[in-house]
Chains A and B, each alone.
Chain A
């Protein structure tokens, strides 16, 4: 697999005010190496994932890839090709059967569940197809979850979350619960939640899958704007319009990555 070049934009990964309060990240695990701005943000080697059921399905068959800092990468492919599995393994949501994933210098494959969880809380943001907002929490409460998990004070978490919602044009909906929001608004809240703690990487699994075309484009433009500000984003999509707005497109087939340059990357 050809190594990916960095787009050269350093995302802001400064910790929240009292980051040390989160017990899981108080001490740096030994498996964390010192990452530099020249290193890729994400480096995956020979990823293999097998699902054991009535019959074994090898979802990932030795995937290698790198994602540079500040890149926006779209993973596309037919259903069952392993897109979501790859995203889950790269983000530490799922365990690997073989291979390694290094995100910002930390080897996720060597971490325990507790360490991976703490690492996700600190360095990653997620946007899901079904929004996955907690239905009993208001928009602003949903957004502040990551900050609370990182140990930020309630007051500070609320202030930052309201700022973020205002940035995304949702300040007037801050006190509403998800069932009172439109699909586009829910997904924007989800994006706000993914970004609120300034993660190193935002993972988005079919972020426009539940939205109509018009709203999908709004969300994609939002992601592009964030990417332009240096945010590393990896997204899985079926939508060609979304994929073509990413800096680079990785095509998956039968558990393998088949890289094809997108117009955006070729033109860069």
Chain B
């Protein structure tokens, strides 16, 4: 984790301890520092509020990340309850005698608390009383005699049961299933599993705790005999084993028991390839890996917020240093040493950073709240069908580390600024005059630094990794620019240097050949390229701000009033290129990332194209409904029926770049691509492996080669997906995928489906309604007419919308992170404007005395801020477009990438307009303040 390091906390404590010692040994300095801090309470409060933004942004993202991790780990625990190990064969049935023999043999094993025979099935559950049904509900068969070890079901009325009181054909429903079909105790249900239809009675609704949460999906809990009735056989398909102990002891016992169970199974002749899985541990690892992958994506996403927050700290501290300069000069004149001055600044900065670090708990909490609000809206809680509660997880270690990090960033900035201020020319500073031009001097330190940079640069250039080549080239360019200091003007150096950095970035990006093995590196390179582009373009813009004065001159020739108004603010911008360039560069960086997320934001699905013209998807998880009833057929043009198996078991996938997920429990619909289905009849693929020139090609490969599949579930074209079949793991190559939401599973050939023949059978039907027939009405008609078979009919539009939820959530999260950065950026503009007013107070007074009207002063400050924002937009847009271009080029290696330039363009235009408007509002306050300064007040020494 970025900030979860005790070292940071220890360093921060050491820094504050050192400051305490300095304060105790220099009482006068401490007193002056405190007085300075409280002299202008409003200014100090503003400063502290600004300092909290960076820490708050880091804290927000870290807490959010921790919350996801802990929520997933907790979900893994809840999903399995007391079940630590399972014995199964990818859903294939086997004899209940296996469970009996395991129970007998493991009875004396200290690491095993209990063994239970079970059935894990999927079926349709209907509530005729409410005319509601749910296809693909989980059916959990358990052995009441062995349930004690696995915990009691606590029903809504408070009674606890191990299932021994359940009558024949009585079942317990999970809360989520009961809610979905509005079932109550006593209701009669119709359940269809694998073609067997059984009527059941609801004995109770389980509270969402203990075994009542098993599978974290809408579930029906039935005693084993009832479950066997549903399955239509007297076999089982899972043995559940509970380890002894809790927490770490439980994990340890499970690890210990697994090999014992495996050796017992090896000694039995149990039929299909039975596998022992440490399911809870698998889930922990899978969720942790998932979270780590998310965190890797989140970090670049939170970069803008962190970068701009840090820049805000630098700006604030610089503005305070500028404001203090004359008073500090007086102290220097009175005999305070340079070291003493640095100590004084550190003491004052220490007070601010300490208060700001504590106050950032509020901003951090606000950011976390915003993120959670977005997540709740986007329903990310539904992870692969599981109902996962996202819970706030505030780890004290994370909070302490982030607060310490924020304080250290502030203190480092204060130190650097104080050292710079301490080099003041006292005579100039006392009168608040600019520093005289420094005499050029050579430095061994500078030379050593340049040599080190040059060597690193050359090493980077010859490296195979393109990221190192990118950095290496930039380092060499920096060295060349530094060496040419005395030979060319600063403007030329910066312009040429910036152009070279930008060009080098483009050269590295365009020359990097992206293939199936290096996609992840290519995408990272794109992001690094964005940073170098912002840096290079920022340098060019910063060095050539003078061109603005030329433009202003042209405007001035049309109106001398404009020239008089523009002259001072433009001069301040253009003749302090480092300061202006830094502001433009940092804000440009944030805008670049915001542009990237905005450009890549998933637009709405193309319903007509993505659905292939089908209006309704009918899912009959428990029955083989191959045709629709006659009364519905009248409104239908065509249908495609696909036999479907509901695979329940472990799954693993690998994406094209080679990143492999861990085995984890999944419920995956497997659609059979039978010979009767012509490839062109199915909806078009939204992504396709580069090896296939057309969708038909990909479908043909799936039909003829059992190793190819179409997977809209996990994995992506070019990647692989593995399931556990009757005889062991089966690996498939992903040829393509449908638009997310449609046929949300894996399309396989009949031959490829064979190892999963033990999984419950059902049907999926795509329905194309007649012209003029409303898809919603058609879905309702289908649902009514197939109700008895537990089928569920959903419009393809609704499915495609559902498929976008996760993408939209990530888009929202990135946008939120960028917006946090943008808010900090706009605050920076406001603070820069305020800083301008404080710093230029005397200059404003002179202008007012000489006859400049208030509106000119107001316009000047606003124009400067808007120009900064405008130039940052130019830099950010250029870098963002470059990144998106190369990102799409890279991603295209994995199949066609949907990108709607019109949608992206209008999104960007909106974002930029909002940015300019907000920048205007943020600057308005300081600008009005400046315009209201009377010449006398502005010219008077305010100290």
Q: What residues of chain A have their CB less than 8 Å away from a CB belonging to chain B?
A: 18, 21-24, 88, 91, 93-94, 113-114, 117-118, 120-122, 126, 128, 130-137, 141, 145-146, 148-154, 177-180, 193, 210
Contacts and interface: CB of A to CB of B under 8 A. Distances in A.
Contact of A94 (B431, B568, B851, B936): B936
A121 B847 CA distance: 10
Contacts of B572: 136
Contacts of B435: 179
A87 to B, nearest CB: 10
Contacts of A148: 560, 563-564, 567
Interface string B913-943: 0000000000000000000001110010000
29 contacts: A18-B560, A21-B560, A21-B561, A22-B561, A93-B935, A113-B854, A114-B854, A117-B853, A117-B854, A118-B853, A122-B851, A126-B846, A130-B431, A130-B842, A131-B433, A133-B846, A134-B843, A134-B846, A135-B433, A135-B843, A136-B568, A136-B571, A146-B851, A148-B564, A148-B567, A154-B553, A154-B560, A179-B434, A180-B436
B576 interface: yes
B510 interface: no
In this complex, which of B433, B571, B845, B851 has the most chain A Cβ atoms within 10 angstroms of its Cβ? B851
A207 to B, nearest CB: 14
A150 B851 CA distance: 8
B437 interface: yes
A154 B568 contact: no
Interface in B878-903: none
Contacts of A179: 428, 433-437
Interface string B542-565: 000000000001001100110110
Nearest to A150: B851
B571 to A, nearest CB: 4
Contacts of A122: 851
A94 B553 CA distance: 33
Contact of B850 (A23, A94, A146, A151): A146
A117 B842 CA distance: 16
Nearest to B937: A94
Contacts of B437: 179-180
Given A93-B935, A93-B936, A149 B576 contact: no
B382 interface: no
A132 B842 contact: yes
Contacts of A149: 564, 850-852
Contacts of B568: 134, 136-137
Nearest to B934: A94
A22 B850 CA distance: 13
B849 interface: yes
B552 to A, nearest CB: 10
Contacts of A18: 560
Contact of B560 (A117, A134, A136, A152): A152
Contacts of A88: 936
Contacts of B846: 126, 128, 132-134
A200 to B, nearest CB: 13
Contact of A154 (B563, B850, B853): B563
A131 B432 CA distance: 11
Interface string B395-435: 00000000000000000000000000000000010011111
Contacts of B78: none
A148 B560 CA distance: 6
Contacts of B432: 130
Interface in B756-793: none
B575 interface: yes
Can you list the 10 inter-chain pairs with the closest CB atoms, starting with the nearest? A121-B851, A148-B564, A179-B434, A136-B571, A94-B936, A136-B575, A135-B434, A132-B846, A151-B560, A93-B935
Contact of B849 (A113, A126, A154): A126
Contacts of A180: 436-437
Nearest to B432: A130
B435 to A, nearest CB: 7
A177 B437 CA distance: 10
Interface in B844-871: 845-854
A137 B571 contact: yes
Contacts of B852: 117, 121, 149
Contacts of A177: 434, 575
Nearest to B932: A113
Nearest to B855: A114
Contact of B851 (A21, A118, A128, A136): A118
A114 B939 contact: no
A61 to B, nearest CB: 19
A122 B851 CA distance: 8
A130 B433 contact: yes
Contact of B433 (A113, A151, A153, A178): A178
A50 to B, nearest CB: 14
B512 to A, nearest CB: 43
A21 B572 CA distance: 26
B853 A24 contact: yes
A93 B934 CA distance: 8
Given A120-B849, A132-B845, A137 B936 contact: no
Nearest to A145: B850
A101 B452 CA distance: 69
Contacts of B567: 137, 141, 145, 148
Nearest to A155: B557
Contacts of B934: 93-94
B790 to A, nearest CB: 78
A114 B576 contact: no
A128 B845 CA distance: 11
A145 B842 CA distance: 15
Interface in B83-117: none
Contacts of B939: 93, 128, 132
Contacts of A137: 567-568, 571
Nearest to A179: B434
Nearest to A120: B851
Nearest to B935: A93
A137 B165 CA distance: 92
A151 B437 CA distance: 33
A184 to B, nearest CB: 14
Contact of A117 (B561, B576, B851): B851
Interface string B828-849: 0000000000000011011111
B851 A154 contact: no
Contacts of A135: 433-434, 843
A177 B435 CA distance: 11
A179 B428 CA distance: 9
B242 to A, nearest CB: 76
Contacts of A23: 561
Contacts of A120: 849-851
Contacts of A146: 850-851
In this complex, which of A18, A135, A153, A154 has the most chain B Cβ atoms within 10 angstroms of its Cβ? A135
Contacts of B842: 130, 132
A120 B845 CA distance: 13
A23 B562 CA distance: 12
In this complex, which of A23, A122, A136, A141 has the most chain B Cβ atoms within 10 angstroms of its Cβ? A136
A215 B850 CA distance: 25
Contacts of B434: 135, 177-179
A29 B675 CA distance: 96
Interface in B370-402: none
A53 to B, nearest CB: 13
A253 to B, nearest CB: 22
A147 to B, nearest CB: 9
Contacts of A145: 564, 567, 847, 850
A154 B434 CA distance: 27
B127 to A, nearest CB: 77
Contacts of B848: 117
Contacts of A121: 850-852
Given A93-B936, A179-B434, 5 more contacts: A117-B853, A128-B939, A132-B846, A135-B433, A179-B436
Contacts of A134: 568, 571, 843, 846-847
